[in-house]
Amino acid sequence: MIPLPRHADAPPVLRVEGLDIAYGTAPVLHGIDLRIGAGEAHCLLGRNGAGKTTLVRAILGRIRPRAGTVTVEKGRVALVPQDIALFPKLTVRENLAAFARLSGLPRGAIGARVAETMAQAGIAERRDERVETLSGGWQRRVNIAAAILDTPRLLVLDEPTVGVDAAARAGLHALIDDLRAGGMGILVVTHDLDEAATLCGHAILLDAGRVVRAGPIADLMEGAFRHDLRLSIAFVDPAEMPRAAALTGLEIAGEGLTGMVADAAGGLHLVESLTAAGIAVRAVSLERPALAHLHDALTAGSAP
């Protein structure tokens, strides 16, 4: 793999400035500003219809913006589509050789680069198997390998682990993290917020065509929740929930109450007040808020 610059003042691999896109007269993206640096992994989050696909298309140069600019370092961006976008009848090695040729790699360098990429993606042992015979996890590895043959500066992955088991997912996460650590800029488009939190240090939250939050996930979480904890309470008799909600100020969510508290003592105090009021509590959980909670909080108004 060709090492990429990672020092702090390295130019960003992706810069989006003032991007406005409309389909006909219908605006889809408004005033989008983004920056992804070398060696950073960003997840692009948002509900269906928020504008994620349009933004990705703009980054890939497939949409002419109404205003604004999209700049990818040296124009080298590669896409890993959500589906397995490979030639199923070809072996792993034949697939990669075909993609290497289409990527414009010099003919003499293709064999070595394919071997290097197979080793990097951990698929060398499957090199002579047809893609159609591989399991979902292996196919996803080849799907990624096909995109990194010409060492793009920015790698866009659309739902990179959908439909694979936990072990294969962990392997894919490790592969993507290796690529990031090698200096590649990573943009992951996903609805899986646990995966986003695991894979990416940064998040871009899109809602109704606007970036509502963007930055390091830790900063976003702290900004939204400070050091609050998330309290969830389940009841022996669910019919007691409205009274419990009125007493505690927590919200009814599913079969229990949920809400933020400043610390563990605050949570304990609320539970004690319920017990004192004769409401039997079945289970209590206190946890740090997840990215999903931030996502839900910021995009609640746009739920389809």
Partner 1 sequence: MILTILRVMLIGLLRDRGALAMIFLLPPAIYLIFAAIFSGTGQGNPELRMGLHVARADAALEAAIEAMPLQTLRRYDDPALLRLDLTEGRLDAGLVLSGALDDVDAAPFLLLVDPGKPMVAALLDGRLRAHLGAGMPDAMARRQMNALSRRIGPLAPTGPPDPEAAAPAALTAVEVVGDPEATDPTVTYYAGAIAVMFLLFSATQTAAGLIDDRRSGLLDRFAATPAGIDVVVMGRFAFLVLQGFVQAGAVFAVAALVDGVPVAEHPLGWVVVTALVALAAAGMGMVAAVLCTTRAQAQTVATFVVLVSSALGGSMVPRFLMPDRLREIGSFSPNAWAIDAYQGLLVRGQPLAALAEPLLALGALGVLGIAGSVLISRRRMML
- Chain contacts with partner 1 (rule: CB under 8 A): 23, 57, 60-64, 77-86, 99, 102-104, 146-147, 150, 158
Choice between 80 and 274, CB closer to partner 1: 80
Nearest-approach distance from CB 85 to partner 1, in angstroms: 4
Nearest-approach distance from CB 20 to partner 1, in angstroms: 15
Choice between 57 and 191, CB closer to partner 1: 57
CA distances from 130 to 85, 87, 136, 203 (A): 14, 9, 13, 36
Collapsed DSSP state (helix, strand, coil) of residue 104: coil
Neighbours of 77 (CB within 10 A): 22
Nearest-approach distance from CB 157 to partner 1, in angstroms: 11
Backbone phi and psi for residue 209, each to the nearest 5 degrees, phi listed first = 80, 10
Which residues are within 8 A (CB) of 195 and not within 5 positions of it... i.e. 6 or more apart? Answer: 43, 161, 169, 173, 188
Nearest-approach distance from CB 147 to partner 1, in angstroms: 7
Closest CA relative to residue 204, chosen from 191, 216, 214: 214
Residue 14 CA, distance from chain mean position:
16
Choice between 32 and 257, CB closer to partner 1: 32
Closest CA relative to residue 196, chosen from 41, 28, 21: 41
Neighbours of 177 (CB within 10 A): 15
Dihedral class, residue 3 (left if φ above 0, else alpha if ψ from -120 to 50, else beta): beta
Nearest-approach distance from CB 63 to partner 1, in angstroms: 5
Neighbours of 259 (CB within 10 A): 18
Choice between 139 and 299, CB closer to partner 1: 139
Closest CA relative to residue 42, chosen from 187, 152, 176: 187
CA 197, 62, 113: angle at the middle one, nearest 5?
70
- Tell the residue number behind the tokens 């015979």, with chain if given: 133
Choice between 83 and 222, CB closer to partner 1: 83
Nearest-approach distance from CB 276 to partner 1, in angstroms: 56
Nearest-approach distance from CB 140 to partner 1, in angstroms: 13
Nearest-approach distance from CB 173 to partner 1, in angstroms: 21
Choice between 57 and 173, CB closer to partner 1: 57
Q: What is the CA radius of gyration of the chain?
A: 23
Choice between 86 and 193, CB closer to partner 1: 86
Choice between 86 and 257, CB closer to partner 1: 86
